[in-house]
Structure 1
Amino acid sequence: MRADWLFNMIDAGVDAPGVQKRLREATGLDLRIEECLKVKNGAAVYRGTLDGRRVIAKRGLHNAAMVRDTMAASRERMADGPYRVVAPIAATDDILVMEHAPGREVKGVLDALGGGSARRAVLTRCGEWARTYAGTDIETGTFGSGFWLRKHRQPHAEGSLHPEVQVTWDALMGWLEDRAARVAGVSVTRGRCHGDLTPMNLHLDDDGVLWGFDIGAEMRLPLARDVARFVVTWLRSSVFEDGFCGQELRALAGPVLPASEFDTLLPFFLGETIAGRLPEERADSEKWMRMRWMVSALMETFP
């Protein structure tokens, strides 16, 4: 896995001049790539400059123009408030260029605070960003779990996972199926979702403005899933002060979800999100240990 990551980073670096050339030919913009930050699922993320501005460029987005349009509409809708979206600059083919978000990565802010009321206040603001992004076009419906269970069952047939992963996977999927039966037919809040809401995709600037970026094309999903993605991504390298049912999780979820979903849909989507991460984390011993802890803690908190 480590070797694959290294080869992908090298390939993305070699491809950087081609990314610059394609963007210049399509838009006339002179992107100067400085470094490749990461490669995941075939998409490369670069840091660079364009006309003196710090920018982020992504290569490998099949829907780059749609993402640009979603970001532009969201930026206009959230303009001038304390919760904003960075400006998209250009999109062509599978390349998207956006402004570099000002301020500090929220993950670093949360980790530095270490716990207590100050950290809960930042988590609440992250929830308020998600709620502001969702806007007023919110709908309430009846929840069905079939799609979410099939999504994880199909790629991982019996015996396709490493034996160590398989044991944890089977326990988690058993819990998810039991949980799905319990929440079948409950009320679900759906709306506009970020799609990859994580503490790494939010920045807090010196004026207290919270900036969101790395948004996907517009999608309407259960809002609990955005909250769950934030939590699971953060807990891969950090810890909640008080577990899966404590004040910190409620500080984050409170602005986004009705209280009725805290003990119904949010636990389900925490498990569903963990299931999406579990098979890929075994190569990193620390992250694998944390994923196993998350599975155990979730099942103990919501038996």
Structure 2
Amino acid sequence: MTPKPPNAPDPIEALAALPELAGAEFVGLMRDIPKRLVIEIRLNGQRAFLKQFRQGDPAAMVRASVARLHEATEVLGQGPDAVALPLLALPDHGVIVTEAAPGQALSRLLLRARPAQRAALVTRTGQWLARLGASGRERGSFGALYWLGKLDERLAAASADWIDRDLVAAHMAQMRAEAEPLRGRSVERAATHGDMTPDNLFLDLSVTPQHLTGIDIQPRAVIPIVRDMSRLLVWLESRRQRGARDTLNGIAAGEYAALVNVPGLIDADQLPILRFMIGIMAMEVYLDTARQPVRRQALARCLRDWAITPGP
């Protein structure tokens, strides 16, 4: 939690004073960072999560978030594939409250699953993503240099002594070599999740068919579908304690295949772009591991494997 400046009002006390939250029980602080505040609450006896946007235009972000959740609800139908619905929106305070997703976090299920089970869970996740991105899908031009430029900006600002500069230099050289042929290539875009990690998906095993519910869906933005796919695949590698025997593009071969072979998710011509985005995402997440040396080792392994084991 970020320390409060002296005499600054307590954020939970300020929220509890809002008439719309009268009677709400504040269960626990989940996240307190400059961009947003996330708190678990009980609202009218129902478990829920309160998010307060703190930067940019919070009111606009609340409205966009509510609109995106309703849009996703119409696309998915709130059956076996679903999203956590909004319960309360207070744009003037930058606040949105959403229901809690039923079931268990997919991240927990994946971490204790055997390889075949993990692959099945990855396939199930890909099916959810394919359905979410099915509406309004479009083709555009892939901005390889745009993504490479954003990564260059992060690297220019990174000065930590734990960064393996030789690894970074070798990876970026390979990225630049692969960027040029991808410039302007046709890429599939859709309104997808925006932060596709297993922490943001919950699987309810108590019902048949099992329900998969997404949380923390980002306000609507049409992005390359492979962006969300690479986010998921890199998360899987970053949490792997030991490297997989066989890899493709730095990812365990079985899990890579389980995702890319989901019908309707991406066409085969997107695979080189997916490889490129895995390279971007793996380096982005590597730079976020200042306090996670074990995860950093896994990502360094992923980066090395990405260079030597390209997928089809």
TM superposition score normalised by structure 1: 0.87
| Equivalent residue in structure 1 for 2:286, among 278, 284, 298 | 278
Q: 1:121 to 1:279 in 2, by over 3 A?
A: closer
Pairing 1:38-49 to 2, within 5 Å after superposition: 38-40=31-33, 42-49=35-42
Once the two structures are TM-superposed, the CA of residue 29 in structure 1 deviates from its matched residue by: 5.5
Once the two structures are TM-superposed, the CA of residue 136 in structure 1 deviates from its matched residue by: 2.9
Provide structure 2 residue ranges, at least 5 long, that are not aligned to the other structure.
none
Check conservation: 2:37, 2:53, Cα contact below 8 A.
Answer: yes
Once the two structures are TM-superposed, the CA of residue 193 in structure 1 deviates from its matched residue by: 1.6
Q: How many residues align?
A: 291
Once the two structures are TM-superposed, the CA of residue 6 in structure 1 deviates from its matched residue by: 6.4
Partner of 2:195: 196
Partner of 2:115: 115
Pairing 1:134-153 to 2, within 5 Å after superposition: 134-153=133-152
Take 2:302 and 2:36, find their aligned partners in 1: how far apart are those partners?
27
Partner of 1:213: 215
Check conservation: 1:179, 1:268, Cα contact below 8 A.
Answer: yes
Q: 1:31 to 1:254 in 2, by over 3 A?
A: farther
Amino acid at match of 1:271: G
Take 2:49 and 2:289, find their aligned partners in 1: how far apart are those partners?
26
The more displaced of 220-229 and 181-190 is: 181-190
Q: Secondary structure at the match of 1:113?
A: coil
| Equivalent residue in structure 2 for 1:232, among 231, 234, 246 | 234
Once the two structures are TM-superposed, the CA of residue 156 in structure 1 deviates from its matched residue by: 3.1
Once the two structures are TM-superposed, the CA of residue 41 in structure 1 deviates from its matched residue by: 5.2
Partner of 1:67: 65
Take 1:82 and 1:13, find their aligned partners in 2: how far apart are those partners?
42
Check conservation: 1:12, 1:44, Cα contact below 8 A.
Answer: no
Take 1:29 and 1:190, find their aligned partners in 2: how far apart are those partners?
42
What fraction of aligned residue pairs are identical, expressed as a percent? 23
Take 1:243 and 1:39, find their aligned partners in 2: how far apart are those partners?
37
1:51 aligns with 2:60: no
Once the two structures are TM-superposed, the CA of residue 300 in structure 1 deviates from its matched residue by: 1.5
Check conservation: 1:12, 1:36, Cα contact below 8 A.
Answer: no
Check conservation: 1:197, 1:226, Cα contact below 8 A.
Answer: yes
Once the two structures are TM-superposed, the CA of residue 131 in structure 1 deviates from its matched residue by: 0.9
1:257 aligns with 2:266: yes
Check conservation: 1:68, 1:90, Cα contact below 8 A.
Answer: no
- The Cα RMSD (Å) is 2.5
Once the two structures are TM-superposed, the CA of residue 60 in structure 1 deviates from its matched residue by: 2.6
Partner of 1:19: 15
* 1:24-67 per-position Cα deviation (integer Å, ceiling 9, x unaligned): 33x45543211112344532221110001000111235312211
Take 2:227 and 2:32, find their aligned partners in 1: how far apart are those partners?
24
TM superposition score normalised by structure 2: 0.84
Take 1:216 and 1:302, find their aligned partners in 2: how far apart are those partners?
30
Check conservation: 1:89, 1:97, Cα contact below 8 A.
Answer: yes
The more displaced of 244-253 and 233-242 is: 233-242
Q: Secondary structure at the match of 1:275?
A: helix
The more displaced of 148-157 and 45-54 is: 148-157
